[in-house]
Amino acid sequence: MAAVCYNTVEGEAKKLPKPASWADLLKPEYKGLLVMPNPASSGTGFLTVSGWLQQMGEEAGWAYMDKLNENIAAYTHSGSKPCKQAAAGEYPMGISIEYTGASLKTKGAPIDVILPKEGSGWDMEATAIVKGTDNLDAAKKLADWAVTREANELYNNFYAVVAMQGVKKDIPNYPANAEAHMIADNNFNWAAANRERILAEWTKRYDSKSEPKK
């Protein structure tokens, strides 16, 4: 899920209000203080952008990103990096992944992990058997195990929302009520069919602020 990692120490020092929504990130006082992943090189970046476009509608979504771009210091090529940068105090805020934020906060980072009130874009971890595999029996055993209760309990060590009903435990410093923040109109078929078009448009508009690729 797309989330905002907010450094409480840096935020207080710079007198920056803690955001509660995507709309809050457009505030002029955040100019140059926010980082997020490049959707062309980061799955987290793409699920965030796809979420905005589906949630707001394309015209409003691009208009939102035009304004957001004014506050962006850099687009990273890693989905977890913006949260890590916020945790280290390099930037006060980073749009990133919720479980990265929870993990860093548990390790002592002075961050709050925020799921914006409008809702967050999200994607799924999936298991599949590759057609033509040389090890079909082994692949079937792994796929069968991947949907068991035991496997889902292991997934729940990292994710608050898993596929199997009744498997749920709290994760330290993970945002509360995470499932309620997942946008309902998240169409994976639409995202896949429009991915190249979205990335081409995003690159044309905003890629000048991307970090150099190493």
List of domains in the chain: 2-124+172-209 (3.40.190.10)
The per-residue pLDDT for 213 is 86
pLDDT at 83 over 90: yes
The per-residue pLDDT for 81 is 98
Q: How many residues does the chain have?
A: 214
Question: Which residue in this structure is represented by tokens 């793409």?
Answer: 46
Read off the tokens for 47: 């699920």
Backbone dihedral region for residue 177 (phi beyond 0: left; psi -120 to 50: alpha; all else: beta): left
Sorting pLDDT into bands at 50, 70 and 90, what band is 97?
very high
Of 145-154, 157-166, 171-180, give the range with the top mean pLDDT. Answer: 145-154
Q: Which H/E stretch holds residue 95?
A: strand 93-97
Whole-Å CA distances, 84 to 10, 68, 144, 150: 14, 20, 35, 31
Read off the tokens for 63: 């208009």
The model's pLDDT over 113-150, given as tens digits with 9 standing for 90+, comes to 999 999 999 999 899 999 999 999 999 999 999 999 99
The per-residue pLDDT for 140 is 98
pLDDT at 185 over 90: no
> What does the pLDDT average to over 105-112?
98
The model's pLDDT over 65-82, given as tens digits with 9 standing for 90+, comes to 999 999 999 999 999 999
- From the CB of residue 129, how many other CB atoms can be counted at a distance below 10 Å? 13
CA atoms within 13 A on the CB side of 112: 14
- From the CB of residue 60, how many other CB atoms can be counted at a distance below 10 Å? 12
Sorting pLDDT into bands at 50, 70 and 90, what band is 189?
very high
pLDDT at 214 over 90: no
**Residue 138 to residue 155: CA distance in whole angstroms:** 21
